[in-house]
Structure 1
């Protein structure tokens, strides 16, 4: 009841039985759940207490959490130990989902539905969870259950199963088609912007409808990735079928042609191939997920509890693992990542110790590809558009070039967008790595700490900043021609600082 973990450990060592039921009908794990003492729950289960232990009324800890706990954390924590989702109590024959709906616990309902709790089990009155939801008159909860029921019925449809299997491919294909359709509408011969605007809105509505109906929440995070790959595809098509033949035809001398082939064609191929290669490496490489077996998890829980370190700073309640230094639990990937930097919007993957190097090279080649395409756009406009930047004002030059070749202007704007964000983010990443020795997540934490702290907080005075050259050598694992010796650290198993900070006045990250 009081959350006194050291006393719980002492009593268990002296032979106390955690399965005994008190005067109110609760066992020790039920009380820990009721008062939301997560470390005690973890310790009891690690010591062999059954997660489905029943109380006097036959309720499991999961049912008690669904009925009386406030907030999603107790339910989410218990689900990590694989409890029985469809067990029923002895009195009313309710499952945990029945109790969650009857109590109006929306977060518990959401988590139980996501975990796969049954919607067909009836209690002693013959009521399903959906029947109780109708009685509760909670419209949001009713909507959640109805949508989940539709989703499960769709999974039994053979055609929809095939669609779900190839969901990522369909998303990429639809994104390619959508981007082409936008360019086609922009390139129409009609001068009516009202017509083009209406067509563009129709395309946007159709794409949003497709995403809503056919793309699940799990794969929705890859939508920006599909947009990025579609952009790269159409940028490359524009270069090879618009810009390159035009530049080849405008060359008058063989030397210029040879220089063009060696410079333009080869460099563009290298940039695009490098971009695709390092995107694949960033996406496919393990970013540094903290992996442990079930036995190792229980051993870590017991060891941390007995060492007095079983708290949220050293223990992840979602993954049930001991957290190494600089690791963070990613909510999107539902995993702890070693030396976590960010969850990348454009790759749909975490960036950590395993793929951070590839991510920087991906940003570099994306920037170079965009710059090269913008160069080709300027050359194309100068050869085919009558407008001149030196003779006309900037606005007239802009409007004439856009109306001259709308497709080229459209692809150039896409290339400009990707070049801007990639170059800015690459600069920020290099600054953090070289001058601060920090990840993006650590830097943001320190910035938040600086705003809330009464004392000045410096981004440079941290245990991980060893100087520009040493930071560079450690990140890229290079010795800089023998001038520096990189520190070889396994951040998936690093629980203590590997060096003594050079300065005493450093800030924790």
Structure 2
């Protein structure tokens, strides 16, 4: 018999939920594991009965007992077969052996009257699911509770299993014995995006009621207060006012769950939908195009009104009346047209409005105080370059990963059958394999190659294909703000004299806004914008040049193993397992494997070529899935040294 190497953690064979346990195989999962010296040793394995041998994965003992005449299809006193125990404990080699000896694959047993495939599904063993199905196990069979494998995987949140089952041909809207679909189960049981998001991507019906009670997925989500899933379902077109067999709606389920905020959210959403179907005002206030245009106009009006009213030569009470009218108009527009569906474009609108009024101020107020024609030319060139880079950063595809349905199915099958289908490298929304350095953007709802961040100031992601335009946008935006501040300084230097020692800051500001409230207001805006623009630009250069990382990688580097420097220290010793396995482990040093030197890092983003002197690294980040040894330029590993698994981001 082959020796079994002791592990740091005691082996805990798993038992099915709701299944019976024999006295010999009972494992109390509530109690802490016994100390290592109480764990079975090689001598103990030799005395195991076949059930315990299967549970602990002692292959030689299993083969010994089967060769001695044990029937692999014999059910134990709990009415459970050996294949069940091997499946729930993920013993692939024993499963293959039992099947080769004639074990019945779809045999039902246990309290839940389920097959081995059901047991593996409940535990989320994807490799066992693939293995059993490769031997002909039927995932559409229902267990004693009436659920097939797709319903079980949805109940327990095993997204990878749901993806594989659908890719193998399981119907996304298959109903169990109670008339419930996988989407209903995930909406009720799983408090997270997955696997609900995956089911919706595959086209699961959001308004299909169950066959017994007439409840929709939205009702099941409301019954447990699952806000995350409620939002997913509403965004996918779930109807709010559908009634079940008892005349209840989703709002009633939210109230029964004692969740007034959720009920209020549903009522507001339903009111907005009804208004859209109503009269002219309702259609105007819910039209996305109109709301978008109003969102763009509001910052222009706000900046103008705040600066124009104090600047105008009218009596103070007239200014007060104009201010009150402006506040009333703003509150009306905000109430009628602005909601969370358009707030994401507010930063872009603020940028455009600020840029417009800065150019207006330069032309109308500051030109007489700037006596150099070259300065005017430089300012206009800066504005043109800023407009170009902003447009390119806004409109350029940042590197969205695309795939058709056939490719998505093929990807799922390939990853699952090679035992590499995990959510670290598979996007459950886009249903694609994630390349290195990519990430799914929740705002754009797409995966982006070499994802840096989603920037609200350009209303677009910053990724592999538009990062250089984003840097140009920040650089020339800083230039425009600098020119504006310079012009404001010349204006106030000519119009008044400052004595900060005598007047202080408040006195100086009072003089500034008394001379020209408009120029003072535009200058204040320029200072505020300079703060975030300069901080963002410096942070971008630091991450690119000195760290060799994107913003996403810097924030999440502790999660991505490729950034962990695990090289042995000088004079260090190899790690040896001990019985207690207590070790003082230091946090790994974070180093980017993509670092190529500060100037080369920058040029890899800017993509500048000059006669072979400057040569950026040419990498298609939309198709790069593995970190090769030649890519790790900062620390190259010795020849034939073991490699760490790459990490998808």
TM-score normalized by the length of structure 1? 0.88
Partner of 1:232: 355
1:37 aligns with 2:158: yes
Partner of 2:45: none
SS in 2 for 1:166: helix
Structure number, greater radius of gyration: 2
User: Among 482, 489, 492, which residue is 2:619 paired with?
Assistant: 489
Aligned pairs for 1:89-100 (under 5 A) are: 89-100=210-221
Structure number with the higher helix fraction is 1
SS in 1 for 2:300: helix
Aligned pairs for 1:103-502 (under 5 A) are: 103-157=224-278, 158-162=280-284, 163-187=287-311, 207=330, 210-244=333-367, 246-247=368-369, 260-261=372-373, 263-385=374-496, 387-389=497-499, 395=505, 396-446=507-557, 455=586, 458=589, 461-498=591-628, 499-502=630-633
Q: How many residues align?
A: 493
Per-residue deviation, 1:202: 7.8
Partner of 2:125: 4
- Cα RMSD, aligned residues only: 3.0
Equivalent residues of 1:446, 1:457 under 8 A apart? no
Per-residue deviation, 1:105: 3.4
Per-residue deviation, 1:265: 2.1
Q: Deviations over 1:303-333 (max 9, x none)?
A: 1111221112211122221110001111221
Equivalent residues of 2:164, 2:416 under 8 A apart? yes
Per-residue deviation, 1:107: 3.2
**Cα distance change on mapping 1:127 and 1:421 into 2, 3 Å:** closer
SS in 1 for 2:173: coil
Q: Any stretches of 5+ residues in structure 2 without a counterpart? A: 1-121, 565-583, 638-643
SS in 2 for 1:489: coil
Per-residue deviation, 1:206: 5.2
Equivalent residues of 2:206, 2:233 under 8 A apart? yes
Equivalent residues of 1:101, 1:133 under 8 A apart? yes
Equivalent residues of 1:327, 1:339 under 8 A apart? yes
Q: Deviations over 1:390-426 (max 9, x none)?
A: 9966534443223211111110111122223222322
SS in 2 for 1:350: strand
Per-residue deviation, 1:224: 1.3
Per-residue deviation, 1:80: 1.9
**Cα distance change on mapping 1:438 and 1:199 into 2, 3 Å:** farther
Per-residue deviation, 1:504: 4.0
TM-score normalized by the length of structure 2? 0.70
**Residues of 1 paired with 2:144 and 2:349: CA distance?**
59
Equivalent residues of 2:251, 2:266 under 8 A apart? yes
**Cα distance change on mapping 1:406 and 1:191 into 2, 3 Å:** farther
**Residues of 2 paired with 1:382 and 1:364: CA distance?**
27
More relative contact order, 1 or 2 (CA 8 Å, 6+ apart) = 1
**Residues of 2 paired with 1:204 and 1:17: CA distance?**
66
Q: Deviations over 1:198-240 (max 9, x none)?
A: 9879856753553343124232111111111111111110000
**Cα distance change on mapping 1:83 and 1:346 into 2, 3 Å:** same
**Cα distance change on mapping 1:122 and 1:238 into 2, 3 Å:** same
SS in 2 for 1:73: coil
User: Among 45, 57, 62, which residue is 2:183 paired with?
Assistant: 62
